[in-house]
Amino acid sequence: MNVIKAQDYAHMSTLASDLIIEEIEKSAYFKLGLATGSSPVGLYKELIEAYKKGTLSFENVTSFNLDEYVGLKSDDPNSYHYFMQQHLFNHVNIQKHKTFIPNGMANDLQEECRRYEALIEEEKGIDLQILGIGENGHIGFNEPSTPFTEKTHVVSLDESTREANARFFNSKENVPTQAITVGIHTIMKSKKILLLISGESKKEAYERLMDPHISTYFPASILHEHPDCTVIVDTETVMG
Ligand code: F6R
């Protein structure tokens, strides 16, 4: 695990965007794994800027998002479909039919998980997976105690995750109780992983991650076993 200490959120976002642009440029066909939430918003702004300046094209990019809430329509402002349109897709030349996000409105959620996993398999996996981390160490929505062998599956969100995400909804009661998430097995098969850590609430998660002990009780700890994982930490908020 390669840990890069950025001065602040803006610096973390620039370093992350430089790394991603370099990878996209190297490849004729690039499969990018995307995350939502506060951590990658600055990174997405940087990618949009690079596209506008003409230094980045998404023409050859296919994207797979990590997760989506169960029960939110794609035009719901709290859905991750909506988040991605707002924060990235509407502003760059990515081809919409090459952007994939689990369908949290599917009638048969198990079938939707199988379909989504098969799509990733057909593409022979993710080239670079962007991750954030939950206060409880979740990656994607793989909450503590999730087996490392899981592929895309339906999860019941931890109460702590619903509380942390209540800031986007009017109240915690409105935060869905379930989500579809890409599993840890699939995340670990990505060729490269880029984990962004920012915010005072992530201090403890960062400290636990720096302990090389691997346990399902702290899902992100498995990243120690990944051969090419970079962590960029915003030291101003996480270590300040
Ligand atoms: C989002 C996701 C989650 C978040 C995590 C951190 O797609 O999979 O694991 O990355 O909850 O969220 P923020 O960045 O909002 O602190």
* Ordered domains of the chain (ranges, CATH): 2-238 (3.40.50.1360)
19-43 per-position pLDDT tens digit = 999 999 999 999 999 999 999 999 9
Pocket test for ligand 1, best of 34, 39, 159 (most atoms within 8 A of CB): 39
Nearest CA residue ID for atom 11, ligand 1? 134
pLDDT of residue 240 exceeding 90, the answer is no
- 156: how many CB neighbours lie within 10 A of its CB? 13
- Tokens at residue 97, please? 């039919």
- Tokens 């790394």, located at residue: 19
132-167 per-position pLDDT tens digit = 999 999 999 999 999 999 999 999 999 999 999 999
- State the DSSP string of 58-127: -TTEEEEESEEETT--TTSTTSHHHHHHHHTGGGS---GGGEE---TT-SSHHHHHHHHHHHHHHTTS-S
- List active site positions: 67, 136, 138, 143
Measured from the CB, is residue 140 less than 6 Å from ligand 1?
Answer: yes
At residue 129 the predicted structure's pLDDT band, cuts being 50, 70 and 90, is very high
How distant, in Å, are the alpha carbons of 1, 135, 194, 218 from that of 208? 14, 10, 17, 8
Nearest CA residue ID for atom 15, ligand 1? 37
pLDDT of residue 17 exceeding 90, the answer is yes
pLDDT of residue 51 exceeding 90, the answer is yes
Cβ(127)–Cβ(30) below 8 Å: yes
Please report the atom of ligand 1 found closest to the CA of residue 36: 7
Q: What is the strand order of the sheet 67-69 is part of?
A: 67-69, 178-181, 153-156
Phi and psi dihedrals of 178, rounded to 5? -130, 160
Measured from the CB, is residue 39 less than 6 Å from ligand 1?
Answer: yes
To 10 degrees, what angle do helices 41-53 and 80-87 make? 40
Please report the atom of ligand 1 found closest to the CA of residue 67: 7
- Cα(55) to ligand 1 centroid in Å equals 28
Please report the atom of ligand 1 found closest to the CA of residue 132: 10
Phi and psi dihedrals of 159, rounded to 5? -60, -35
